[in-house]
Structure 1
Amino acid sequence: MAIKVCVFDAYGTLFDVAAAARIAAAEPGREALAKVWPDLAEDWRRKQLEYSWLRAVTGDYVPFWQVTMDGLDWAMERSGLDDPELRERLLALYWELAAYKEVPMMLATLKARGLACAILSNGSKDMLEGAVDHSGVGLYLDAVLSVEEVGIFKPARAVYDMVGARFGCTPDEVLFVSSNGWDAAGAAGYGFQTVWVNRAGLPMDRLMAQPAHVLSDLTTIPELV
């Protein structure tokens, strides 16, 4: 069936999750962070995801902001950064993540073609609203869907169910786009047509399903619909 709805993961897909550490590292007096910021950014994101998976398995849901803070605390300790002011700065910057440069034009093109566009994210509603407002992409979005509504993190099927409930569409009418291989696999197994945005050139995850398309960025998404 024809695609009617294009759904995007937020963090790492539309918004650059490394931007917070990168920006803070360039500020005056951040020499200690400047030496380690790529590792800190990677550790922060990895633990953020690991904590969300573990909480999904155990049923111990907390808002994504909590796992974001917990992930940062782990990453800072690993990097030897005991700096409460830096912690607050990094967390503040996470509310102002920039969109990747191709995102506005890509979304504008999809909207011009009459497609509905939405975010489906583990992020807390207020976190997502902050990123959407800061990046200016809100005018291209018909919905911002947060797992807060169902109280469990992706890749739980209850999260993907939110798309059909919101748009009244079947799974095969949805193009789902994520930079996370596990998320793209989960969505493919659910029945969405899927795209993995593999910015880092990683191997394909060995999971229950595979995405239909693998791209290096979001530029050519409109060509798939």
Structure 2
Amino acid sequence: MPITTCIFDAYGTLFDVAAAAREAADEPGRESFAEHWPKIAADWRAKQLEYTWLRAVAGRHTDFWQVTKDGLDWALEASALDDRDLRERLLQLYWELSAYPEVPEMLRALKETGKATAILSNGTPQMLEGAVRSAGIEAVLDDTLSVESVGIFKPHDSVYDLVGARFGCARDEVLFVSSNGWDVCAAAGYGFQTAWVNRAGAPVDRLWGAPDRVLSDLTTIPEIAA
């Protein structure tokens, strides 16, 4: 089935989740944080995702902003950093995450060929709006779809259902793109065509689906979707 609709995960896929910690580490007066930022960024992301899965399994949903704050608090404590100003700065920067450099041109190319484009994310509508605006990609996205409309995090099927409900497309008309291996595997099992942006060179997750394509970045997405 030809691809009509290209759907992207947000955090780690279009937006660099390490950017907040990296940028804070470069600011004057953050020398002590600069020594720790890679570990804190990795711990923050790991706990952020872990908390979404645990809350989904337990049926105890809260929004992604709360999960993001909780994950950061764990990461800072794990590195023995108790700095309220640093915490607030990191959270502020998370609303302004940098897009990966190939993102704007890739999305423009998709729109020029008539593809529908959207984000499907755990993020809240407000978080996604801030990231999209900061990256300057509003004009090349048709929509941002948030799990908040169904009240459960990925990889629950009801999240992937949002795509068909919004765009009226069959599952096999969708190219779903994510940097999260578990997200791509679940989307493949759901019936989407999939591309995994495996920036870290990780093994494929052993789940109920597998990615159709494995990429190192997003550059070739327009060719895949053509």
Length-normalised TM-score, structure 1 = 0.99
- Residue of structure 2 in register with 1:5 after alignment: 5
Deviation, structure 1 residue 179: 0.1
Deviation, structure 1 residue 32: 1.4
Distance 1:70 1:51 in 2: 8
The letter for the 2-side match of 1:197 is: V
Within a 5 Å distance, the mapping from 1:17-166 to structure 2 comes to 17-166=17-166
Could you list the per-position Cα deviations for residues 122-144 of structure 1 after superposition, in whole angstroms to 9, with x for gaps in the alignment? 00110000000000011000010
- Which structure 1 residue ranges, 5 or more long, are not aligned? none
The letter for the 2-side match of 1:134 is: S
Deviation, structure 1 residue 16: 0.4
Partner SS, residue 195 of structure 1: strand
- Residue of structure 2 in register with 1:176 after alignment: 176
Could you list the per-position Cα deviations for residues 3-53 of structure 1 after superposition, in whole angstroms to 9, with x for gaps in the alignment? 000000000000000000000001111111100100000000000000000
- Residue of structure 2 in register with 1:217 after alignment: 217
The letter for the 2-side match of 1:102 is: E
Within a 5 Å distance, the mapping from 1:178-197 to structure 2 comes to 178-197=178-197
Q: How many residues align?
A: 225
Distance 1:184 1:148 in 2: 20
Deviation, structure 1 residue 95: 0.2
Deviation beyond 2 Å, 4+ runs, structure 1 = none
Length-normalised TM-score, structure 2 = 0.99
- Which structure 2 residue ranges, 5 or more long, are not aligned? none
Identity of aligned residues (%): 70
Distance 2:88 2:117 in 1: 33
Could you list the per-position Cα deviations for residues 174-218 of structure 1 after superposition, in whole angstroms to 9, with x for gaps in the alignment? 000000000000100000000100001111111111010000000
